[in-house]
Amino acid sequence: MSKIIKDLNWRYATKFFDETKKVSPKDLETLLEATRLSASSYGLQPYHIYVIEDKEIREKLKSVSWNQPQITDASHLIVFTIKKSFGEELVDEYIDNVIKTRAIEHKSIKGYADFMKSKLMFLSGEEKNNWTSRQVYLALGNILTVAAYLKIDTCPIEGIVSEKYDEILGLTDKNLSTVVVLPIGYRSEKDDTQHFPKVRYSKEKLFTHL
């Protein structure tokens, strides 16, 4: 069995974190860089990510997360937010970055910019939110995998009151909205869940080869 498969078998949704153990700055940087390098539709990355260590803020967030202990006990809390609304500026900012990064002229990429705008600008507000949320989950999947590789525990949590997160973090005025959060750290010895066999469908049930 390859190392990455062993790591993914090792990973589980951690219920109790060891409050005394902290993710090192080096490992945190690796996790964040892996997240930054995640795939997204057209490469647009229509989201913003908060890395929260502050205990006072996390206590407030815990109260609007059904008092789940992972929010405060984990080493860090990663909060994934989406742009609630966007216009052509989303594409324009990306195109400016492409031009700067690759040292090319605008005219060489204008067709691609127009194509992206033709696909995205006419979406309804709900469709835009669905699209941006899907991009967040691509990034979430990436950080989960890399964390497992580093033997850092995680627990993706959707059981939160998103509107209250937005209020506590001051996101409303920033055109951002919370989608999902990810406590990261190291499992506690008292977390019996770590000893449970992993439950997944068999390959025969899950995959069809044509």
Whether residue 98 is contained in a domain is answered as no
Residue 165 located in a structural domain: yes
What pLDDT score was predicted for residue 45? 98
Interval 48-65: pLDDT, tens: 999 999 999 999 999 999
pTM of the model: 0.96
Tally of domains in the chain: 1
Range of the domain at 30: 3-84+137-206
User: CATH number for the domain including 199?
Assistant: 3.40.109.10
The answer to whether position 112 is within a domain reads no
Whether 102 is covered by a domain: the verdict is no
Does residue 89 lie in a domain region? no
Is 177 inside any structural domain?
A: yes
**What are the tens digits of pLDDT across the range 111-131?**
999 999 999 999 999 999 999
Domain-located, residue 70: yes
Over residues 49-105, the pLDDT tens digits come to 999 999 999 999 999 999 999 999 999 999 999 999 999 999 999 999 999 999 999
**Model confidence pLDDT, tens digit, residues 169-198:** 999 999 999 999 999 999 999 999 999 999
**Would you list the DSSP string of the chain?**
--HHHHHHHH--B-SSB-TT----HHHHHHHHHHHHT---GGG---EEEEEE--HHHHHHHHHTTTT-THHHHSSEEEEEEEES---HHHHHHHHHHHHHHHT--GGGTHHHHHHHHHHHTTS-HHHHHHHHHHHHHHHHHHHHHHHHHTT-EE--B--S-HHHHHHHTT-GGGTEEEEEEEEEE-B-TT-GGGGSPP----HHHH----
Instruction: Answer whether residue 1 shows pLDDT above 90.
Output: no
Residue 91 lies in a domain: no
